[in-house]
Amino acid sequence: MKLITYNVNGIRAAMSKDFVQWLKSVNPDIVCLQEIKATPDQVNVNEFIDLGYHLYWYPAQKKGYSGVAIFTKIKPKNVVYGCGIDKYDFEGRVLRIDLDNLSVISVYHPSGSSGEERQAFKMQWLDDFYEYINTLKKSIPNLIISGDYNICHKAIDIHNPKSNANTSGFLPEEREWMEKFITNDFIDTFRFFNPEPHQYTWWSYRAGARGKNLGWRIDYHLATQSLQNKLSRSVILTEAKHSDHCPVLLEINP
């Protein structure tokens, strides 16, 4: 089974850059999207249906903002929209599908880069999301949480850790949360297979950062420890250029 997580930074913009043809060639079974910034009626959904996908959308209430989606070739037994906390569900940040032997979440963590108010919102979200997942794991032991976490976990995950030490996305308290979250029964599946540095999933549009590979690794597939023996491979697909992020692939043998 092939899973992809991809912050497309606007699905309509991505589709204008041959996203559909790329998706056809990679042919994942499940695609977790973030920052879709659109509702289904604003997109030619038939292009995805023709590829064999069932489409589940959870856009933000605010037009052109945030939102997550899951496209899956495996029809789920159950679909859950949101996490049950209004201020986060208003922004379309969590979507879950339940399959026979595992559940997959597409998540878009808030960014705190726009100022103190949003950073405080992000830190509250992190506490609430931690508790939400802790509760969820009691009934769903096999869980994959795929998405844009807007946090670099370790110094290896960012091109210049010293100069970014006080930057949202690499703050000590954010990295501590990431460590706590992962060590609470999760596997960072990319690092499980790839210990090497200089592997990123997001680059600023400024100063030719992508061409110089001056990036951040902020997109993850986190899988519960119960799935460790099912993990097969994980790679960052840097050649896909429909967004300022790139997709991350996870292969498992369910």
- What ranges do the domains of the chain cover? 2-252
Mean pLDDT within 12-29: 98
Backbone angles phi, psi at 222, to 5 degrees: -100, 125
- Give the pLDDT of residue 14: 98
- Give the pLDDT of residue 123: 98
**Catalytic residue selected from 148, 157, 188, 219:** 148
Mean pLDDT within 220-237: 98
DSSP-derived secondary structure for 175-208 = HHHHHHHHHTTEEEHHHHH---SS--SEE-SGGG
Q: Is the pLDDT confidence value at 76 over 90?
A: yes
pLDDT digits over 156-189, tens only? 999 999 999 999 999 999 999 999 999 999 999 9
Q: Is the pLDDT confidence value at 254 over 90?
A: no
List the one residue out of 167, 170, 192 whose CA is nearest residue 182: 192
The pTM of this model reads 0.98
pLDDT digits over 52-72, tens only? 999 999 999 999 999 999 999
Catalytic site residue 89? Answer: no
2-252 CATH: 3.60.10.10
Q: Is the pLDDT confidence value at 152 over 90?
A: yes
Mean pLDDT within 101-112: 97
- Give the pLDDT of residue 98: 98
